[in-house]
Structure 1
Amino acid sequence: MVPAKMGFRMPAEWEPRERTFMAWPVRTEIWPDGLKEAQEGYARIAREIAAFEEVVMLVQPHLADEAGRMCGAAVEILPMEHDDSWLRDNGPTFLINGQGELAAVNWQFNAWGGKYQPYDQDNAVAGKLLARYGVPVFEAPLVLEGGSIHVDGEGTLMTTEQCLLNKNRNPQLGKREIERLLGQYLAVDVIFWLKQGLAADETDGHVDNVACFVRPGVIAIQACHDPADLNYSASQENLKLLADFTDAQGRRAEVVQIEQPPVRYWRGQRLSMSYLNYYPVNGGIIVPVFGGDAQATDEAAVRTLQRLYPDRKIVPVDGMPIIKGGGNVHCITQQMPAGIPARL
């Protein structure tokens, strides 16, 4: 049996949750400025989230004491071997049913199409984490990262063709087969396909850098209005696609644009900076900001998010230490909904 037939669905990120999972930075080749800066960035974000809800940091056992000191007493340290620190992508996708019972999907993980080696320990993290918390697991025959999908909790999923149809993930599957599997494992009836993600995004266009559901019927999208910018054509195309969006409940979308930050490079590489890589928590929104020449767009993004989430506290955090590794706040977190483990 698949989850959808058993009454499970993937809840939206704004629904109540039990805790946040993160994983401590360890892969030295993606942090050329040193692990210390990355770890300080992760610890700072973990502490901000811990002001709203429980945070569990997965840490390689030999680094547990150091991570504990840096994160502080409010963050629980869970010793566990892993290869990398982007738990959104290799962690489990949690499900919930009408009785408030939890289960989860364990996707296959291949490090964004084999871009980093090794990744076998990261591929094993979801199963170990679910066993630790007694959550039953559905093993999915699909390579998929959590950052490549967004759902509204009411039957609609949003993704990009650039990522999910990339042949470095599931070369044996076509679009219809992938849609069928997403429907079976996440209980989604409508899959809305955007085209491209951000320029220079090594995840091959994860949707969590591009657009997200704010609530059912409302979508935020990062926009580019400079015709000379590499993101311009993709941004305009995605906006045109969203103009025809209809969700699983028959709603047309209200689309809210958030202007992208100024282009910035690091060690000769463009950074895929995004305000859409924010993370909802119980009562708050943790949003990356970038400072310097991005101050005006930082402030505009915060104002827009406060308007979109009037009942939540908007917490800006320095996104620069994290974006140097290729992602941001949403990429390094994974939410566990509130509920009790199901008995399957």
Structure 2
Amino acid sequence: MVKVIEGSPAKMGFRMPAEWEPHEQCWMGWPARPDNWREHAGPAQEIFARAAIAISKFEPVTLCASAEQYPNVYKLMQHQRNIRVVEMSMNDSWFRDMGPTFITRKGGPDSEQTIAGIDWQFNAWGGIYDDWSLDSDVAKKIVEIERIPRFPHKMILEGGSIHVDGEGTCITTEECLLNPNRNPNMTKLEIENELKEFLGVTKVIWIPRGLHGDEDTNGHVDNLCCFIKPGVVLLSWTDDEKDPQYERSVEALSTLSQSVDARGRKIEVVKIHVPRPLYMTEEEAGGVVSTEHAVPREPGTRLAASYVNFYIANGGIIAPAFGDKWDKEAREVLRKAFPDHEVVMVEGAREIVLGGGNIHCITQQQPVRPS
């Protein structure tokens, strides 16, 4: 068993690195739930595979699949040199939210102590499906595989609800972290203090709401905005004042523009336009098996589609493409934001949105262990 550490990671010198800092590998799960993914997850699996292969061109990927799915996934990936396939039981495949949050520190008595994983409590985003017992153990399994220490935490938190700049600043949304379906007995100040103690940040910027339509996660910040470098935030935007997203984007812009980061820098905001409104079709909704165990997928539901929901790999940006007129502009915005990275747009990312997230949601970076 790996070492379990109690106490404050920040006081021990740990911090959560920014996503653009070097990675040892990327962790992903494999979708299979027929009551969340249409056509028994076949179309989603194709896009997950495409995303994993794209990431593997820049860094190693560990792809976790259930015992039932393992033979097919192994066969599919056996010729991908930078992808390993591991058998792991899970309820669903959102490794950003159920996996560990990796934290690092310099020095230490031995190399294993320079990296650790925070094991937050997980309750399936306030209970959008009724059994998350297997998902709750994913973080433990990952740190066991990697033989790194684990910081258990009593607070319910998903990785997609936070973004950090690696220099002491965290951004999040009130809509998610203050939702009574997470930590109803904790105040905003108490939650903020826990973020500071465990992520090694000294400043938390609270944005009121997340992306319009992002009801599954109650407004995760990683679908609305993210740091692209210290002091600079990329924000989902629309110029259409009639779009319900407009009010949310303006609200976020106001909050960010009036904020300073942990080092006193005024936050600069770069806008990236959201795709045109996308809606779940009758065919897509009809392909999901209706059960009493998960939130139903209704035709006509607006999809929470955003170009901000991308993954920063070692030298690469793996971003969603929706077959939309805004895809090309999104690529250019990302190229300018990350001039030293190659931007790879994953076609067909709509399939991931249909299940409630996107590329950032299905990935979890493991940073390089400091020497």
Is this a same-fold pair by TM over 0.5? yes
1:87 and 2:95 correspond: yes
* Corresponding position of 2:104: 96
* Corresponding position of 1:204: 218
* Corresponding position of 2:192: 179
CA contact (8 A) 2:33 2:40 kept: no
* Corresponding position of 1:290: 322
CA contact (8 A) 2:96 2:360 kept: yes
- The correspondence of residues 1-344 of structure 1 with structure 2, limited to 5 A, is 1-74=7-80, 75-99=83-107, 101-201=114-214, 202-266=216-280, 267-291=299-323, 294-295=324-325, 297-318=326-347, 319-339=349-369
Q: Secondary structure at the residue paired with 2:134?
A: helix
* Matched positions, count: 338
* Corresponding position of 2:290: none
CA contact (8 A) 1:106 1:127 kept: yes
Of Structure 1 and Structure 2, the greater strand share is in 1
Q: Any idea what the Cα deviations from partners look like across 1:138-194, whole Å, max 9, x if unmatched?
A: 011110000000000010000000000000000010100001111111111000000
- Please give the alpha-carbon distance, in whole angstroms, between the structure 2 residues aligned to 1:225 and 1:195: 20
- Please give the alpha-carbon distance, in whole angstroms, between the structure 2 residues aligned to 1:334 and 1:106: 13
Amino acid at match of 1:123: S
CA contact (8 A) 2:104 2:370 kept: no
Cα separation, partners in 2 of 1:155 and 1:340, compared to 1, 3 Å: closer
How far off is 1:117 after superposition?
2.0
Q: Secondary structure at the residue paired with 1:231?
A: helix
- Please give the alpha-carbon distance, in whole angstroms, between the structure 2 residues aligned to 1:311 and 1:300: 18
Amino acid at match of 1:203: T
- Please give the alpha-carbon distance, in whole angstroms, between the structure 2 residues aligned to 1:164 and 1:264: 26
- Show structure 1 runs of 5+ residues with no match: none
- Please give the alpha-carbon distance, in whole angstroms, between the structure 2 residues aligned to 1:33 and 1:173: 40
How far off is 1:333 after superposition?
0.2
> Normalising by structure 2, what TM-score?
0.89
- Please give the alpha-carbon distance, in whole angstroms, between the structure 2 residues aligned to 1:340 and 1:310: 25
Q: Any idea what the Cα deviations from partners look like across 1:76-117, whole Å, max 9, x if unmatched?
A: 111011100100000000000023711110000000001112
Q: Secondary structure at the residue paired with 2:20?
A: coil
- Please give the alpha-carbon distance, in whole angstroms, between the structure 1 residues aligned to 2:154 and 2:41: 34
- Show structure 2 runs of 5+ residues with no match: 1-6, 281-298
- Please give the alpha-carbon distance, in whole angstroms, between the structure 2 residues aligned to 1:281 and 1:332: 13
**4+ long deviations beyond 2 Å:** 69-74
How far off is 1:72 after superposition?
4.2
Q: Secondary structure at the residue paired with 1:28?
A: coil
- Please give the alpha-carbon distance, in whole angstroms, between the structure 1 residues aligned to 2:141 and 2:329: 41
Q: What value does the CA root-mean-square deviation take over the aligned residues?
A: 1.2
Amino acid at match of 1:284: G
Identity, in percent, stands at: 45
- Please give the alpha-carbon distance, in whole angstroms, between the structure 2 residues aligned to 1:130 and 1:98: 19
Moved more, 45-54 or 225-234: 225-234
Q: Secondary structure at the residue paired with 2:69?
A: helix
How far off is 1:253 after superposition?
1.4
